[in-house]
Amino acid sequence: MMPEREQFAAETAGFRRELLAHCYRMVGSAQDAEDLVQETYLRAWRSYAGFEGRASVRAWLYRIATNVCLTALRRRQVRVLPSGLSGAYEGPDRAPSLVASADVSWFEPLPDEWVIPAGDDPAEVVVARESLRLALIASLQHLPARQRAILLLREVLAFSAAETAAILGTTTAAVKSGLQRARARLDELDPKPAELLEPADRRARALLDGYIAAFEQSDAKLLEQVLRTDATLEATPFRDWSAGRTMCIRMLGNYVLGAPGDWRMFATTANGQPAAVVYHRDVDGVLRAYGAVVLEATSGGVSRVVAFHHSALVTTTFGFPDVLTD
């Protein structure tokens, strides 16, 4: 007979990636999600002897993971993007505020490679990416935690109402009611989800390449070719954000682009969208990790740019070095 620890690993290891995606959808942070998955497996191991197969291993793990997330969310601020705090910066009567807001718990991106392994079925990959889109996950953070859990369990993970009720320790009637309220609130927050291109689509890659070239060459005209007229631009940890291509380019041209060679970017994917890891040249001429940027690419151009100015994202989340050599 297989030793208990080996049996536990054999039965549960295959669910780690999907549990990580679930925890990320719940809390909006890759690093927090990884910690919560670790806690899930620790609790699962401690209770494994009493599991006895009364439910599927998958449902049992999701019950533990969901309740670990709900407990964590009771003592944490909701993670947000700048557009979730206030209206767009309109200028020009004042300069945009570029002072970091340390009192806000900021939303964070998730690299695709953490949760979408190479070689997966292409149709399943598309579904997985759609459920991790930046706009969707950011909107989910504005739902009450239990409604968020109900929506994810029912509509993303396809658990039945009865299974969801068992996972959350509630009734099927409460699940159905919570799902209705969650759907209604999500429609208010994101009533018309954009038709986004897949990251591998040549049009999406061309838009990402154009955005990278605009920064590396400090060329605002290239941005005009990439951004849609209704594009938005936001960057954590700053509250001010821009709406409309003219305002976006003005913001970047006046305060961000700098000189050719100040920026280096490397293409990747995050949240099922084209993305880039970002480096910036410091006063000593060294290219240092700066953060990441995620684009919403559509057939008409980039409709949204979300930049995350956190250098630790480059090293701890995307696995790139802290410093580049030319």
The count of other CB atoms within 10 Å of the CB of residue 78 is 16
37-82 pLDDT, tens digit each: 999 999 999 998 888 777 789 999 999 999 999 999 998 889 999 9
Q: Please identify which residue in the block is written with the tokens 């859990």.
A: 149
Q: What is the CATH class of 80-133+196-325?
A: alpha beta
Structure tokens at 250: 């003005």
Q: Please identify which residue in the block is written with the tokens 């719940």.
A: 26
The count of other CB atoms within 10 Å of the CB of residue 14 is 11
Mean pLDDT of 10-28: 95
156-215 pLDDT, tens digit each: 999 999 999 999 999 999 999 999 999 999 988 875 667 899 999 999 999 999 999 999
Distance in angstroms (rounded) separating the CA atoms of residues 19 and 25: 10
Structure tokens at 227: 């951004």
Domains 1-76 and 80-133+196-325 share a fold: no
Predicted TM-score (pTM) of this structure: 0.93
- Beta strands (DSSP E) in the chain are 227-236, 242-243, 263-270, 273-281, 287-298, 301-308, 323-324
- Up-side HSE of residue 278: CA atoms within 13 Å toward CB? 26
Q: CATH number of the domain at 1-76, out of 3.90.330.10, 1.10.1740.10, 3.30.930.10, 3.10.20.30?
A: 1.10.1740.10
Q: Please answer whether residues 105 and 76 qualify as being in contact, where contact means their C-beta atoms are separated by less than 8 angstroms.
A: yes
Share of the chain above pLDDT 70, in %: 96
- Label residue 50 exposed, middle or buried (CB < 10 Å: 0-12, 13-18, 19+): exposed
* pLDDT at 1 exceeding the cut of 60: no
112-165 pLDDT, tens digit each: 999 987 666 777 777 788 889 999 999 999 999 999 999 999 999 999 999 999
Distance in angstroms (rounded) separating the CA atoms of residues 186 and 214: 34
Q: Please identify which residue in the block is written with the tokens 């002897």.
A: 49
The count of other CB atoms within 10 Å of the CB of residue 34 is 18
Domain boundaries along the sequence of the chain: 1-76, 80-133+196-325
Q: What is the pLDDT of residue 52?
A: 73
